[in-house]
Chain A
Amino acid sequence: MKEVKIAKNELVSFLDSLISEYKVFAPVKRDGFVAFQEIHSGSDALLDYVNSKKPPKEIFLPQSEVLFSYHLGGEGLGIEEPSFEDKQTVIFGIRPCDARSLVILDNIFNSQEYKDVYYTDKREKTLVIAIGCNQPSSTCFCTSVGGGPFSSDGSDLLLIDIDQEYVAQAVTDKGEKLVTKHSQFREVERRSLSLMQKVTQRAGALIRTKIETGAIAEKLAVMFDDAFWDWLHEKCLGCAVCTYLCPTCHCFDIADETLDQTGRRVRIWDTCAFPLFTLEASGVNPRPTGKERMRQRVMHKFKYFVDNHNVAACVGCGRCIKECPVNLDIRAVLNSILNR
């Protein structure tokens, strides 16, 4: 893996040259929180932040997305397939946990059998530049789920902040081409590399939460009828905060929206927390109460997904912990499961 460096005072010019070629998404301050938005000037990128409120999954899996449009009343179905933008995209400033979530989502949307072209098209056209976390939050637990504050999973280029400059690790060919092409990336000295070691070690030590998630799937395998589920869901409001803000949650609904004779079929984020999720037209609901739905959420993320894809559908970003209106903490849930 090629390692180079880029001085902090050259970052803006690097971003500006990216902007001339790519559509660039970067963290910006918006309405009092951080969001990934398209920037048109390198100086608009926010560098001093912990993480965005909404996960960058929305760039690949927008909350509402048109699958196709249609005109009624004509010959045939009148379907107009969507056209995909040609322009290449860069996501700059994504955190390693969120970059890793993209790899996890690829399991679903880029599977052998069916390619979700809406997602895969964006993924193929996007370059991921991550910035490692020198200062993990108290709610971060990436190391418990196979990640880390400087994990390169899912990144093309990983930047590590060593005060006046970033060490840049070219993780993939795409990343390597990028650093070769842009003059702001220079040879990195040994001194910088050893400073990087110190930074990464210190950051790793700052992560206080340590959960043995490796054993969770096994435990859950025999817990389907456990009384644990009877009380776990009691305070849950059944809203969609944890799922919509989760980088690996991907469930969606499909609906037709028509005005007069034209319309479109859209896909919209959905959540297993809503009763409607599994409600059948007959009125029967296989998950009738919060108990079944909470059980589904936990088992899907930490058992079923592991069964099918060998990885838990969780990157330890901590958004669900911070934003849950009733402080239902997934770390406490996992620890309770381990202690059953």
Chain B
Amino acid sequence: MPDTSVMIRDTAKKLLDEKRVDLIIGFEKGTLPLRSTPCFVRTSQETEKLIWNASCENNLARYLRGRKEKVGIVAKGCDTRSIISLIKEKQVAREQVFIIGVPCHGMIDRRKIEAKLDGKEILEADEVTEGVILKGSGFTEIVDKAEFLHNSCSTCSYRNPVIYDALIGDKVEENRGIDEYGEVKEFEAQSADKRWHSFTNEISKCIRCYACRNACPLCYCQECFVDSSQPQWIGKTTNLSDTSIFHIVRVFHTAGRCVDCGACDRACPMGIDIRKLTKKIEKDVKELFHYQAGINLEDVPPLAAFSLDDPQQFVR
């Protein structure tokens, strides 16, 4: 069974040689252990750079917006769901994208590994079938990949691309019977005071860098509400009230569109648990409107449609 990276390169090369796309967006080796980095390939020769491993954690769909050319994009399950959302919102045309779908076993959360090593610096990381061999100054450790996946990957039900033009390798088994809303339910069960205290504690770490917003494939407003000056909706300082409103409103703006790819969570330099909010909104949309974003091209997003039996318990 050929290496996934090799298969991606071959597919990319063919697409470019046959001029079916002008650009391939994929991943290449990063400059640090346990990292890969987005890469933009336009020539057959450059396709040699493309790789695939458990550090390909970014959602590349974010780079599809505003393009005129035909693009081939390497996408895991969650990424393909984002692409569907973007197509539904007319940010990219279906014909414009050649989706190179890659079945995914989950991406490694390097912060979890760093926490486990408690400050010891990782100088080399080699991925093997089930684990990662970590080497540093005076130590070698092997960790089990499954134990150190991103939370969104551990509970993921869409490891296989939902839509694709080419599938790299064989499909993988989907997670069954995992309660992906376990953490949300635990949180919901707490008192309002406790939840507010917990939320404000977490969000007070925010430095308003907007990495979460900019990493999200679906945050593409020409003018984000935080930047509006006429009228001005929120202040730009790290005042808790302003920061809280930024996150709360952003999460509401993603309702019915967010696919829980975790890009926001992964981008945050301060390690804020952003998915606590996004996952809750996703659960609410599922329960209220029986809808999950990005599953197919036909379902109409709930906030873009009106149906007579939409829930309306707030109308009294």
Contact = CB atoms under 8 A, between A and B. Distances in A.
- Are A and B co-members of a single complex? yes
| Best-surrounded residue of A234, A253, A321 (most CB of chain B within 10 A) | A234
Interface size class on chain A is: 35 or more
Contacts of A234: 38, 40, 63
A268 B227 contact: no
Given A276-B227, A325-B215, A231 B32 contact: no
Given A54-B207, A268-B236, A237 B267 contact: yes
B32 A322 contact: yes
B269 A245 contact: yes
A33 B119 CA distance: 10
B211 interface: yes
Nearest to B137: A135
A240 B37 contact: no
A224 interface: no
Contacts of B113: none
Given A49-B119, A137-B121, A327-B32, A33 B38 contact: no
Interface stretch (A100-108, A170-178, A328-336): A328-336
| Best-surrounded residue of A235, A321, A328 (most CB of chain B within 10 A) | A235
A32 B31 contact: no
B37 A31 contact: no
Interface size class on chain B is: 35 or more
B69 to A, nearest CB: 13
A332 B214 CA distance: 23
Interface in A283-318: none
Interface in A236-295: 237-241, 244-245, 253, 255, 257, 266, 268, 274, 276
Interface in A51-88: 53-54, 63-64
Interface of B: 30-32, 35-40, 58, 62-63, 115, 119, 121, 123, 137, 205, 207-211, 213-215, 227, 235-239, 266-267, 269-271
What are the 7 closest A-B residue pairs judged by CB atoms, nearest first?
A: A64-B237, A325-B267, A239-B211, A240-B209, A327-B37, A237-B214, A329-B31
Interface of A: 31-33, 48-50, 53-54, 63-64, 135, 137-139, 231, 234-235, 237-241, 244-245, 253, 255, 257, 266, 268, 274, 276, 321-323, 325-329, 331-332
